[in-house]
Amino acid sequence: MINKIASTAFAAALAVGGLFSSAALAEDLNIAFFAASSQNGFNQAIYAGIEEKAKELGGVKTEIYDGQFNAAHQYSQIEDVLASGKFDGFILAANDTVGIAGAVEQVAAAGKPIVTTLFPIGPDLTTLKRQVEGLTSTVASPPADGATEQAKTVVDVCKDRNPCNVVIMIGQLIFPFDNLRYESFRKVLDAHDNIKVVATGEGSYSPDVSLTAMTDILQANSDIHVVLSNADQHLVGVEIALEAAGYNVPDVFLSGGGAANIAINAIREGRWDATLAYFPKSMGSMALDIVVKDLKGEDVPEFINMDEVGPMPPIIDRAVLDANPDFVGEWEQ
C-alpha cells in the first residue's frame, strides 16, 4: 500500500514555506537545464517538470542543453553558457558527478544559483549534503540506497534456489553513480553463496544497446533466473533478448529502475517484477522552484531527498500497484 508518511512528506515538500507557490514573477527569468542527454527519456521528464513549473509560476523561460552522455562536453557546455550571460539560473543532471564540480563552482562564483537533480555533486554519492561550495541545492536520491534495496529483493527471490544465476545490467561503469550502484548490488549479492552473478552488461540507458548486450550474455550463459538492472530502459532490450533465446519471460525475475510507465505496465501485466521508484517530473519541478526562490532572495533547502518525499515506496512491485491501481509513472522510458 502507499507509504502514508512519504506521501505526507511529498505534499509538505510541495507546500512548506511557499517553496512551490505559483506566484508570478515580476520580470522574466531565464533558466538553463543541462541534461545528461536530451535524448534520454528520464532527462526529458525532468525537463517536462521544469517546463510545467515555469508555466505555473509565470515569467520564467527555460532552455535545455544536450550533454550527449559526455562529461567533457557537458563541462564545456556549462562554461560556454555561463559566459554567454543569457541565463539567471541553472539546473543540472550531471554525467560526471565528481568532475563537473569545477563547472558548478564557476557558476556559483558568478553569483548564479545552480541546483543538481538525480545525483549529488561531489566525491561522496552516499550523502545529499552540500560538498561543492556554492551549490544551491540537491534534489535527488542517494544511489547506493536504492541499489541496496533492489539487491535485497533479489536475495529474497533467490533464497530457495541454488545456484541462483543473476545477470546485472548497469548503465555505464565509467559513471561514478553507476559504479556505486554496481558495487552496492555486489555487496549484497556476494554475501550469499547461492547467488551467482554470471555476467554484467552495460546497457547505456538504451533498449537497443541492452538488447545487444543481453543477447551476447545469453549466448555464453544458460539458465538465467534474475536480471537486476538500474534502469527500466535496459529491461526493454533484456525482455526481447530473453524471448528470442526461448525464455518464458515471466519465469525470470526482472528488476529495473525509474518507475517508467513501460515498467509499471509490465509489472501489472506480470512480465516484469519490480522497479526502483523515481519521480523525474516532480524532481524537475522542485529544482526550478528552488532556483526561482533563491533568485528572489528566499530561503531554500540544502537538499530534498526524493526517497523521502515520493508518493510511493522505494521498490514498486505488483503488490504495491495492486494497492494503488491509479498510480502512473512520471515518464515513459
Name the domain count of the chain.
2
pLDDT at 333: 75
Mean pLDDT, the chain, rounded, equals 92
Cell 539567471 belongs to which residue?
88
My answer on whether 92 and 199 are in the same domain is no
In terms of DSSP bridges, do strands 274-276 and 315-317 run parallel, antiparallel, or are they unpaired? Answer: antiparallel
264 and 284 both lie in a single domain: no
Q: Which three cell numbers stand for residue 219?
A: 549466448
User: Is residue 227 scored above 70 in pLDDT?
Assistant: yes
Beta carbons within 10 angstroms of residue 209's beta carbon? 19
Based on the domain organization, do 161 and 93 belong to the same domain? no
* Assigned domain for 261 exists: yes
Residue 133: exposure state from Cβ atoms within 10 A (0-12, 13-18, ≥19): exposed
Give the rounded percent of residues in the chain with a pLDDT score beyond 90: 87
Residue 156 and residue 112 share a domain: no
The pLDDT value given to residue 22: 36
In-domain check, residue 286: yes
Q: CATH number for the domain including 283?
A: 3.40.50.2300
- CA atoms of 279 and 259, how far apart (whole Å): 8
Same domain? 160 vs 119: no
Which amino acid appears at position 143 of this protein? Answer: P
Whether residues 82 and 127 share a domain: the answer is: yes
Q: How far apart are CA 6 and CA 292, in angstroms?
A: 25
Residue 318, all three cell numbers: 505488483
pLDDT at residue 23 greater than cutoff 90: no
The confidence score (pLDDT) of residue 20 equals 38
Report pLDDT digits (tens) over 230-283: 999 999 999 999 999 999 999 999 999 999 999 999 999 999 999 999 999 999
Segments forming the whole domain that contains residue 114: 4-140+279-311
0.75 cut: is pTM over it? yes
Q: Which triple of cell numbers denotes residue 135?
A: 551549490
| Res. 310 pLDDT band, cuts 50 70 90 | confident
pLDDT of 24 higher than 70: no
CA–CA gap between residue 32 and residue 47 (Å, rounded): 10
pLDDT of residue 253: 98
Residues 133 and 224 in one domain: no
Average pLDDT estimate for 186-194:
98
